[in-house]
Amino acid sequence: MSLHNSAEFGEIAEKILLPGDPLRAKYIAENFLTDAKCYTEIRNVYGYTGTYKGVEVSVQATGMGVPSFSIYAHELVYNYGVKKLVRVGTCGGMHEDLNLSDIVIAQGSSTDSSIVKQTFGNAINFSLLADFDLLTKAVLNAKNLNIPVKVGNVICTDYFYNDYSNAQGIFTSNGLTLDQKMIRHGILAVEMESAALYMLCAAAQVQGLAIFTVSDHIVKNLHATPKERETDYNDMIKIALETIIQD
């Protein structure tokens, strides 16, 4: 038991997939895992353990955003001994080459969240990085599965609806808005959890990787439907599962 999870110690695998949406956790458990058993329903934020190709794997929903994600991920690592965490989420494309349903792997996570400053103050701008071993395996697995992926830096934001970043005149210099500057500096996409994952994994010395399917494009103004957000992510899940089961 932990404060937000009713699993007994030992019921959660050391390897875990982390979608935000509880129904996506259920979908992954029912469609990809063998003999999946639900171990928590607290707040309807479901978690399951089963096997994938004979290896024990769990899938735990986390809710949306840094604070919600941090609560579930912290308890998984510190209360249940989870060692490999792969976030499987959605993102808003920013790079012009991205379209709906494309896959992005976060090599690095830039953020407007305060979690880095809460840890290091103004002394350093700590780099939030994917685990190199998981990252290289994921890229290789995607190649073997013939699934194109884009790998690079993402922006993990506390805003889904941001009144400011696109506003002309705010955060502009050289005639560029903040979003335009980020794109120019290679930011591929926007999402809301990877910084929390990479910060926690750095502190706890466990392995973390964030993979996303593009569900929105903030420049092209594209949006997937709620139903597509629930189920249209099989390629990302295949990459995540093939990666997490490898030693």
Number of H helices, E strands in the chain: 8, 11
The C-alpha atoms of residue 36 and residue 77 are separated, in whole angstroms, by 21
Q: Does 7 bind ligand HPA (CB under 6 A)?
A: no
Residues 6+ apart with CB under 8 A from 170: 164, 177, 178
Can you spell out the DSSP letters for 75-86? HHHHTT---EEE
Strand 222-223 to 55-60 pairing: unpaired
Among 216, 241, 243, 244, binds ligand HPA (CB under 6 A): 216
Q: Pick the closer one to ligand HPA by CB: 120 or 160.
A: 160
Residue 170 three-state SS:
coil
How far are the Cα atoms of 90, 150, 151, 173 from residue 30, in angstroms, in the given order? 20, 28, 29, 49
| Distance of closest approach, residue 34 Cβ to ligand HPA, in angstroms | 30
Q: Using CB under 6 A, which of 9, 78, 132, 160 touches ligand HPA? A: 160
Would you say 12 or 104 has its CB closer to ligand HPA? 104
Residue among 90 and 110 whose Cβ is closer to ligand HPA: 90
> Taking CB positions, which residue lies at the least distance from ligand HPA?
92
- Window 56 to 115, contacts with ligand HPA (CB under 6 A): 90-92
Q: Kindly state the smallest distance separating residue 240's Cβ from ligand HPA, in Å.
A: 17
Residue pair 117/39 in contact by the 8 Å Cβ criterion? no
The single residue among 115, 188, 218, 240 that binds ligand HPA, judged by CB under 6 A, is: 218
User: In the stretch 162-201, what mask flags binding to ligand HPA with x, by CB under 6 A?
Assistant: ----------------------------xxx---------
100 near 217, Cβ under 8 Å? yes
Residues near ligand HPA, by CB under 6 A = 90-92, 157, 160, 190-192, 215-216, 218
